[in-house]
Amino acid sequence: LRIVHRTGQIIWISHRCQSIWSEDGILLGRRACNKDISATKRLVEELEQQASTDTLTGVFNRRHILEQAEQEFIRSKRCGLPLSLLVIDVDSFKRINDSCGHSAGDDALRLLTHVCKSELRTSDSLGRIGGDEFVVLLPHTHHEDALLIADRLRICIEEATSVSLSGKFTVSIGISSIGHDVETLAM
């Protein structure tokens, strides 16, 4: 059970109840046992977060974003809703790592995710699927709108890198979309 304490703190309780019967089969009452399991619940939530999050960038990891993509694809087909997917790849990422070091490469990936998160809707999902490859799920988004979003992301990332990093980098973005008249979304 989830209980909100008068201080506003959320407490999780495990509640067990057992009926007490007389020898004649008459209900005499119930015995209840409550145990605070808040620490266990927090640990489980933390482990679930770690299992679905890329540790470097803080966005969804490959497994989680691909699961979400599958769910969105099924929902899109079932409801006849548009769905678009962006695949973002950092151009010449190896050059950044080789010339500036791996920490600069890590900074570049974190900056890219920061820009994407600031430009995307809360209903969109961002995940890292490889070293410098990211996926953005755009539910309820037609191909034409996905093109505009991709272009906006590309420009914002390039502008942010010229200000934040010693060397500017660019990204390439692939787009795939389905609507109610298209049967597949190439991934």
Q: Is 125 helix (H, G, I), strand (E, B) or coil?
A: strand
**Which of 18, 17, 21 has its CA nearest to residue 34?**
17
Query: Which of 54, 132, 151, 181 is an active site residue?
Result: 132
Active site residue 132: yes
Strand order in the sheet with 27-36: 2-4, 10-21, 27-36
Burial of 135 (0-12, 13-18, 19+ CB in 10 A): buried
What phi, psi does 92 have (nearest 5°)? 55, 45
Element (DSSP H or E) covering residue 70: helix 62-79
Which residues carry out catalysis? 132
